Amino acid sequence: MPRMTARSRHEEHRAATPLELFFDLCFVVAVAQAGARLVHSLAEGHLGAGLAGYAAVFFAIWWAWMNFTWFASAYDSDDALYRVVTLVQITGVLILAAGVPRAFDDSDFTVCVIGYIVMRLALTSQWLRAARNAADPGERRMALLYAAGLVVCQLGWVGLLFVPAGTARSWVFVVLAAAEVAVPVIAERGAQSTWHPHHIAERYGLFTLIVLGETVAAATVAVQEALDEHEALGELLPIAGGGLLIVFAAWWIYFAVPIAGHLRSNSQAFAWGYGHFVILGSAAAIGAGMEVAVEQAVGKAHISTAAASAAVTVPAALFLLTVWALHSRHFKRTLAQQLVLPVAAVAILACTFAGHGAVLAAGLVAAATVAAGVALSSRGPEGTGPRVDAHG
């Protein structure tokens, strides 16, 4: 069996591999399924159930991606065995995606759990392989703790299937989710895996691009279907235009500065990585919100204009605040620069009450946010000149 040894954290020119990109693309199906179910719930006025179902399903999607991504950053050997095992994980991802509708609509996680079992069997074998070839006892202990954590948590998810649907199952889900996110913290308390800062930053950026792309695709399909059925061009153009501005601004703000230099320790990297649950979840929810706004505009959604507008403005504001907390605030040099994104988030929330033009108004605010960020950063701190920082 070929050896699997840890890669260097200081390796130069580390970039995402074609296999990693393929792995990411397979998550598009799952993200699209979660977004479609959220649209249906919000359009029917089932806010609480819709948000709870979306949070649970998106956690399952996001955490499956996280498990693979951090392991691959430290141990991607790219040999035949590694590739085959990763393809098995991809199979698990597709099974997970197939189970999203049942999990969302009926709280039936059976198919999702089966998908996780497939993924976890593959990933556990990878960690055991890493332990077998560990360079020292500390690394071996870390890899074994990861493998044990995966097995224990997976047994918990299997047990969840036997808990009656309702409040009890919801609390068990929360406990199991907390156990999942605790595994890396516990496993790496002694020795740390050699994840690569630039590679991790790129991987998260690529997944963010996929989610934003799915947002645009979902909104485009919604507008097309509405036009085919209603030809309500006047009502749909402001939503399409505003939504596009929001997505463009989201891309600009997220990618304005490189974050890899900030990821210097596990505490910084884990907080940043875990925080992306909100960034990615809100980015995907923007697309779902745009679909809801389209359905409300043509009379297919049974909610008010303000509620439909909030389906776009709330996740957009949450995206800006979370990107500010995880990214932007580390690169700001003046109070004015620090205030741009929080103030923009409040302004976008205020657009909720702008009637049928709410989404367009929010898009204009998002565009103005980017312009303000560029203008302030071009001055540099205390008027010293331009800086390479166009972050909103």
Instruction: Print pLDDT tens along the chain (392 aa).
Output: 678 888 998 888 889 999 999 999 988 888 988 998 999 899 888 989 899 999 999 999 999 999 999 999 999 999 999 999 999 999 999 999 999 988 888 888 999 999 999 999 999 999 999 999 998 999 999 999 999 999 999 999 999 999 988 888 889 999 999 999 999 999 999 899 999 999 999 999 999 999 998 888 877 877 777 777 666 677 788 888 999 999 999 999 999 888 888 888 888 899 999 999 999 999 999 999 999 998 888 888 889 999 999 999 999 999 999 999 998 888 888 899 899 999 999 999 999 999 889 999 999 999 999 999 999 887 754 433 334 344 44
Residues 371 and 225 in one domain: yes
Alpha carbon distance 241, 246 (integer Å): 9
Among 137, 158, 187, the domain boundary falls at 187
Residues 204 and 250 in one domain: yes
Residues 245 and 326 in one domain: yes
Prediction pTM value:
0.90
Domain enclosing residue 367, as ranges: 197-383
CATH code, domain carrying 317: 1.20.1410
What is the domain count for the chain?
2
Residues 212 and 272 in one domain: yes
Domain presence at residue 9: no
Residues 167 and 142 in one domain: yes
